Amino acid sequence: MRQERKADFLASLAQRRRTLAKGWYKYSRNPLSVLGLVVLVLIGLAAALAPHITPYPAQAGAYTDFQNAGKPPSFEHFFGTDRIGRDVFTRVVFGYRFSLLLGIVVLGLGVAPGVVLGLIAGYHRGTWVEAVIMRTTDVFLAVPPLVLALAITAMLTPNLLNEMFAIALLWWPWYCRLVFAVSSSLRSQFFVREAELSGASEAHILFREMLPNCLAPILTKMTLDMGIVILLGASLSFIGLGAQPPTPCLGTMVADGAKRLPGEWWGTIFPALAIVIVILAFNLVGDGLRDVFAVEEV
């Protein structure tokens, strides 16, 4: 008996490994996606190890050195120094920390309710439950996310937490729609019917039967959305509604530096490129995943 279960387990493991290998094979067919993944891993490592690999980790926090302000790129300061005399390179690397954190937290907070609501709406397709949920998403999607995010953050004390909260508040409807589209088509499928007839609870049907079938598009969309969330966060901090000083925040750095163009270009060009690179990497990886999962439209 036990032996059998072990064999089963091993078989499923092997199966899983095969699936992974096949996925990786498909993924690695696109060199750009692989490049994106490599860049992303590098960025992730750099962000995680920021205090150890940056030349002046102290300058990411409470620090001023007005004597050394506005120095051009040199060997001591790869990306030059900013208005307050801080090393731009150090702050860009630390800035990645907060960008990634923002993306992860926002998607963490936003995806779960969206998915749950989407599943519920899909399961109760055609009833008032669906109508209420889906019409509410319509309201949230009636204006571009940046506009609502601005309206909300402008009302709250600007800091990283509130920024995350505001964006997360706007993110669930997208997942709600996505999951609704998939789950409402699953609703009439054989296995859902069967589970229903066998008396499974609604929660079981939602999370055990329907959810696994929605995972591929959700995962792909999340990867692509990481880029969008980071972009949105950068836009908000560009306006001044994001994390507050001295937090190194890429959008804020671009806005700050822009005041000193064209003379001290390094203060804005490098953080701007940093934003572009991380978003690009997420897009490339997302595209790769889309190929692997053969997701049509997310």
Partner 1 sequence: MLSPSRVLEGAVKDTMLKYIGLRLVQSVFVLFGLSILIFFIARVVPGDPARAMMGYLATQDQLQAVRVEMHLDKSFPVQYYYWLRGLLHGDLGRSAYTKRPVVTDLVQYIPATLELILFATLISVVLGQAMGILAGYFRNSWFDGVSRLVSYLGIATPSFVIAILLMFFFSQVLHLAPSVGRIPIMMTAPPTVTGFMVLDSLLAGQFSTALVALTHLVLPAFSLAVIHIAQEGRITRSSIAENLGKDYITMHRVHGIRTSRIVFKYLLRPSIIPTVTVMGLDFAFLMSNAFLVELVFMWPGFARYALTTMLNKDLNAMVAVVLVIGLTFAVVNLLVDILITFLDPTVRIQRRGG
Partner 2 sequence: MRTARFLCVMVAAFALAIGFWCHVSLGAVENVVVVNGQPTITTDPATASDWYDTEAMYNLYSPLVYPTPEGSVRPHLATSWQAVGGDLTHWRFVLRQGVKFHSGYEMTADDVAFSMTRFIAMKSGNSGPLGKVTATVIDKYTVDFVLDKPSALFPETLALFFPVEKALVLANIKTSDKYGDFGDYGEDWLATHDAGTGPYMMTLNVPGTRLDTARFVDYFEGWSNEGWGPDEVPIDRVVFIMEADYTSLMTILKGRQMDLEINGGWTLPQLREIQANKTLDLTSCWAQNVTVYMNTKAVPTDDEHFRKAILYAFDYASVVGPWQAFGNGPTGIITPNMAGYVPIEPQPPVQNLVKAQQELALSKYAKNLKDVKVVYHFCGGLDFEEDVGLQLQADMAKLGVKVEVAGPPWAQFGAECNSAETTPNMTCWLFAPQAFPTHDYYLFSMFAKKGLGWIFESHWYFDDPQIETLLNATRAEADPVKRLAIYTQLQPLIAAHALALYPYQKPTLFAHQSYIAGPKESIPMVGPSENMHNWRINLTLKAQITGQ
Interaction site with partner 2 (CB under 8 A): 62-64, 66-67, 69-70, 83-84, 154-155, 157-159, 240-241, 244-246, 256, 258-264
Q: Which of partner 2, partner 1, none binds 63 (CB below 5-8 Å, type-dependent)?
A: partner 2
75-96 CB burial, b ≥16 within 10 A, e <16: eebbbbbbebbbbbbbbbbbbb
280 binds, among partner 2, partner 1, none (CB under 5 to 8 A by kind): partner 1
CA 34 to chain centre: 18
Amino acid at 208: R
- The gap from C-alpha 271 to its chain's centroid, in whole angstroms, comes to 19
Alpha helices in the chain (DSSP H): 2-28, 31-48, 50-53, 88-123, 128-140, 145-155, 160-186, 190-197, 202-204, 211-239, 250-258, 266-293
Dist. CA 48–CA 189, nearest whole Å: 44
Residue 110 touches partner 1, criterion: CB under 8 A? no
284 binds partner 1 (CB under 8 A): yes
Under the criterion CB under 8 A, does residue 258 sit at the interface with partner 1? yes
Query: Shortest approach of partner 1 to residue 263 CB, angstroms?
Result: 9
Shortest CB 168 distance to partner 2, Å = 20
User: At its nearest, how many Å lie between partner 1 and the CB of residue 155?
Assistant: 4
CB count within 10 Å of CB 64 equals 13
Q: Least CB distance from residue 278 to partner 1, whole Å?
A: 9
215 touches partner 1 by CB under 8 A: no
| 67, 70, 76, 78: CA torsion to nearest 10 | 160
Among 80, 110, 145, 248, indicate the residue that binds partner 1 (CB under 8 A). Answer: 145
Give the footprint of partner 1 on this chain (CB under 8 A). 32, 135-136, 138-140, 142-148, 150-152, 154-156, 227, 231, 234-235, 238-239, 254, 258, 261-262, 265, 268-269, 272, 275-277, 279-280, 283-284
